Structure formats: C-alpha cells, structure tokens
A and B are shown apart, each in its own frame.
Chain A
Amino acid sequence: MSRMIDAAKFIFVVGTPGAGKSLICHELEKILKGNDFKCSRHGDYPFLQLLYKTDMDSDCHDRFKSDPKSEFVVLDQSVYDKALELVYDNILKNARGSRTIKIIEFSRPRYDTAFLYYTLEALGQSVIVHASASIQVCIERNERRKAMLEARLKGHYAAQVFGEDPDVHYVPPSVMSNFYAKDEEEDQRRSRDQKMVLSLMPARSYFCLDNSADDKDAFTATVRQMAEDELLPLLERGESYEAYYYRRREQLRGTMESIALETSATQETEQLALR
C-alpha cells in the first residue's frame, strides 16, 4: 500500500488586490467553524512589517523606504518571497501536530517563486484557492475602497464602511501598478500565466474562482459550493500518493482546458471586433 499524505491543513488564498481574497477567507472561516474545524487566519503583511523594522533598526535602506501614508514602500521585490519564507518557518513548520486549519492570504503579481522555499510535505498539505478577476474590475473595486475609506475619514459613514464588507484594505497605486501591464492583452496573458503557474504547484489542490461579475452573493455561493464539495473532504482525511496524483492530473487537465477555452473565446471576440 502506498504512503499516505496527511489531511490538508493549510489554505493559501491568493489573487490580485480586489479579486475577492478577503471575502473567500471570511466565508471559509465560517464554513470551517460551522463544520467543527478550528481555524485561524494569517497573512504575510506582519512578516513584511517585521523585515521592514529589522532593516530600519540596522540602518539598512536597500529593501524598504519609509512612507508616511503606507508605513513603507518595498524597493526590492525579493522581500515578498522572504516574507513567504517567514510564513513557512513561523506558521507551517510550527503547525506539526496541530489540528487547526490555517488560512493564509497573500497577493503577488507573479507566483513563480512564491513557494520556492516550501517542502513537498508542506505543499501536499496545502490547498491553493485563487480569486480571479479581470484587472479592470480589481482596479474599480480598489477605487471603491478608497472612496469608502475617505468617507470614513470624514467621519460620516463608519457603519457603512465596515458594515458587511469583510475588508476595506485600500492598495496604493504604487503597489497596485505592479499588478497590471501596459495593455489589456498583456494583462490577460499574465492572468493566464498566473493560473497555470498556480495550478502547476504541487499543492494538494488548486481551485480558481472567478469573481469578475460584480455579484457578491453569487461569488459567496460559489465559494461555499467549492468549500463544501471539494475542500472539506481534503481537510477531513488523508489520501495515498496515487490517489493524489490521479486527482490532480484530472484537475490540471480541467484547468488547462478552461484556460485554452478562455484564450480561444478572447481571440474570437477580437476577430469579431476587427470585422
């Protein structure tokens, strides 16, 4: 009988700012707790903050620049991967024997090197949930957050600002600009690459959830369906390497086919526009 991989206990929620990561985390937390799991939420921001403070304390200014509006600005992009190393060392490595499911939220323009430091054992116990939306939609949502925060600063609509919205993190343009390219075509290519890179990670499973339509309830229902039908079983029990391989192979084929379909649909639309 083949060796077993333990039940998954880490959920990485990734995607462009404004794509719906926080909504996914919020909903997953509710679903996990409602199904008798213990769970905790984490992000890479505290680790970036730690790196920034360590650099400032040692008078090193190569990687970060202090900024009065957003605390710091990243100068050297490699600190993002360093922060993920710290996530591994402090959250994943320490979780051996723990039964708490860790939801880890982070965002990168590219994910090629994000999991470089992670062992196969850790990735085998991890599920990647990718919130996907077109860059235009993400920018619009981010701008809406800005408007909400400004309203809050005026002191009028605090309840509306924080009411039901799980998260109102505004991402400044200097950071947001890392997520989009010079034209729409390039943005689409980047988005496809992101999906391919993430689906090729040797994680236990990869789910890409499309949040392009501006329908919060429909997206929440999609998250719920994925979590109840596909995620919970992975958190409940381990599986053999063979089962893992065949399941992932099917999943990967599905992802690649959907990317191919997406590409051909885009090309058709372009051709129609040209006519």
Chain B
Amino acid sequence: MKKAFISYSHHDWDRAARVSEALKAIGWSPFLDKERLAPGSAWRTTLKTELGLADLLIIVLTIEWLSSDFTIAELEAYVKAARRASKERVLIIPLEFDGVIEKDYLIPQLNGVHIVKGAEELNHDELRWILFCGINSCPPGPPGDWEERGSKVKTTEIAAPEVPKSRPLNPAERLRLEQEIDHIKSPQRIREIAWKTLGREAELPEDPKIAWYKLIRMVSELGLSERLCKAADVDYELLFGPSGSSEES
C-alpha cells in the first residue's frame, strides 16, 4: 500500500482527518502524526523517516500551515528526500482551505504546483475524486460530476493487515545491535538487508558503520527492528528479550 504524508497545522486536525479518510478510501496509507506517534517517541526522527518513505505529500494549506516553521520544514524535507531517492515524480497535492490565502506563497517548493482551491467546500466523494485525479495526473472534469465520479472510485481495495511492530530501541540497545551486526561490512549486503527489512531501497552511506547507524535508527523508529534482526541473522530475543517486551537497559 502506498504511503501518503499529511502535512497540517494542529489547528486543522479535523481537516487533516477528513483528508486521511478520503485517502484511505482510495487505497492509500496516510500518515497523521497524531495517530501514529507513540507518546514519548522521538517524533523528529519518525517524521523525517516517514517523509522519506512517503510517495505523496498532502498539504492542508491554511494560514496556520503557512505560519508554522515545522510544516514548511516538512515540505522541504519531503522534497529533499524525494530528490535524493531520484523519484520519478515529487508528488505534492496542496489543498487550500479557508480561501483566505490570496497572495503568492513565496514557498519555492510550491512554485508551479497546482493548488486545489476551496477544499473546505468539497464533500467526502468530491475530495476523494480530487485526490484520485491528483495522484493519477488526470484532469478532474466538470465540478458537477466530481461527487458521482468520486463515489465510483475503487474503494474495494482492503488494506493488508499491518506487520506486527517491535518496540523502538533505546540508544543503548541500538548500540548493542550495531555491535552485533557490524561484522557485516559489505555495502551490497547491507543494502540487501535494508531491502528485506524496509521492502524498498534505502539510501545508505558507503561507510558501513554510518550505514548501520542510519539503518538501525530508521528501522527502530518504524518498529521493524525484529524484522531487521531476522534479515541479518541476529537473534532478536537473545538481545532484547521476547518480542514486544519493554526491557530497560
């Protein structure tokens, strides 16, 4: 299932939740920080990782979004990660709510990106249709038809059950895992393990020590450390106790 990151200001939670529902309805897996961040987790790293993994960035564009440094930083990080991963398309769909933003935004990353105006007025099916068109680069047609077309967009795609996640590792545990694993020095082998763990290619530095640091931190935040251990033939339970436990070190 493809991943979408929803960038929004916390004032606009309801709007972000509406967008999230519409995305789920067309078979996407949206990331909303409020829903996915575990209390006390290292939110900055998780957000950065999720932005790197996302195939689509939806912006809930409001005055609050424009005045927050964090949301703009999310946009910058998404564009940077997408370019670095040499993605064919840097897919951004800005949905303008409120209709109060009249002037140019002076945000270089949004230069030339079509902004969907009046998103507040769209009902669930219309919003679904607009998102579907944005993702598939097709014109939405006359607004009068959006609701009907939106209702016909494939909704039968059922999300695959999520892989059980392991708890995030603390720095001492990550260090232990690094020490356990850093006899693997071949960049090719490290990339292969990354592929098996993340299900996609990860951009990793050549230096194996730095590559392991980066990969382990990334998978720990994503709750995939157990899967990484399996891919690298390391006994997870021996290192950190039974799966899902919260051993303190």
Residues of A within 8 A of B (CB): 30-31, 33-35, 217-218, 220-222, 224-225, 228-229, 232-233, 236-237
Within B34-61, the residues touching A (CB, 8 Å) are: 42, 44-45
Within B158-208, the residues touching A (CB, 8 Å) are: 170-172, 174-176, 179, 205, 207
- Using A34-B217, A220-B175, A228-B217 as known contacts, list a sample of 15 further A-B pairs with CB atoms less than 8 Å apart, ordered by residue number in A: A30-B209, A30-B210, A30-B213, A33-B205, A33-B207, A34-B214, A35-B214, A221-B170, A221-B175, A222-B171, A224-B171, A224-B175, A225-B171, A228-B171, A233-B44
Residues of A contacting B209 with CB < 8 Å? 30
B213 partner, pick from A31, A217, A218, A221, beta carbons under 8 A: A31
Asked if B171 contacts A217 (CB within 8 A), the reply is no
Q: B210-223: contact bitstring with A at CB < 8 Å (1 yes, 0 no)? A: 10011001000000
The docked-state distance in angstroms from the alpha carbon of A82 to that of B210 is 35
Residues of B within 8 A of A (CB): 42, 44-45, 69, 73, 170-172, 174-176, 179, 205, 207, 209-210, 213-214, 217
Report the minimal beta-carbon distance from A246 to chain B, rounded to whole angstroms.
17
Residues of B contacting A236 with CB < 8 Å? 73
Report the minimal beta-carbon distance from A175 to chain B, rounded to whole angstroms.
31
The docked-state distance in angstroms from the alpha carbon of A30 to that of B179 is 14
Judged by DSSP, the binding face of A is helix
CB nearest to B209 among chain A residues: A30
The docked-state distance in angstroms from the alpha carbon of A35 to that of B179 is 19
The docked-state distance in angstroms from the alpha carbon of A117 to that of B232 is 51
Asked if B172 contacts A221 (CB within 8 A), the reply is yes
Residues of B contacting A229 with CB < 8 Å? 42
Asked if A228 contacts B42 (CB within 8 A), the reply is yes
CB nearest to A224 among chain B residues: B171
CB nearest to B84 among chain A residues: A36
Residues of A contacting B171 with CB < 8 Å? 221-222, 224-225, 228
Residues of A contacting B214 with CB < 8 Å? 34-35
Residues of B contacting A228 with CB < 8 Å? 42, 45, 171, 217
Report the minimal beta-carbon distance from B75 to chain A, rounded to whole angstroms.
14
Report the minimal beta-carbon distance from B221 to chain A, rounded to whole angstroms.
11
Asked if A217 contacts B42 (CB within 8 A), the reply is no
Residues of B contacting A232 with CB < 8 Å? 44
CB nearest to A31 among chain B residues: B213
The docked-state distance in angstroms from the alpha carbon of A6 to that of B170 is 30
28 A-B pairs in the complex with CB atoms less than 8 angstroms apart:
A30-B209, A30-B210, A30-B213, A31-B213, A33-B210, A34-B205, A34-B213, A34-B217, A217-B172, A217-B175, A217-B176, A217-B179, A218-B172, A220-B175, A221-B170, A221-B171, A221-B172, A221-B175, A224-B171, A224-B175, A225-B170, A228-B42, A228-B45, A228-B171, A228-B217, A232-B44, A233-B44, A237-B73
The docked-state distance in angstroms from the alpha carbon of A30 to that of B209 is 7
**Given the contacts A220-B175, A221-B175, A228-B45, A237 and B69 also touching, CB distance less than 8 Å:** yes
The docked-state distance in angstroms from the alpha carbon of A232 to that of B43 is 13
CB nearest to B211 among chain A residues: A34
Report the minimal beta-carbon distance from A233 to chain B, rounded to whole angstroms.
7
CB nearest to B205 among chain A residues: A33
The docked-state distance in angstroms from the alpha carbon of A218 to that of B207 is 23
Residues of A contacting B172 with CB < 8 Å? 217-218, 221
Asked if B174 contacts A224 (CB within 8 A), the reply is yes
The docked-state distance in angstroms from the alpha carbon of A69 to that of B179 is 37
Residues of A contacting B45 with CB < 8 Å? 228
The docked-state distance in angstroms from the alpha carbon of A233 to that of B172 is 20
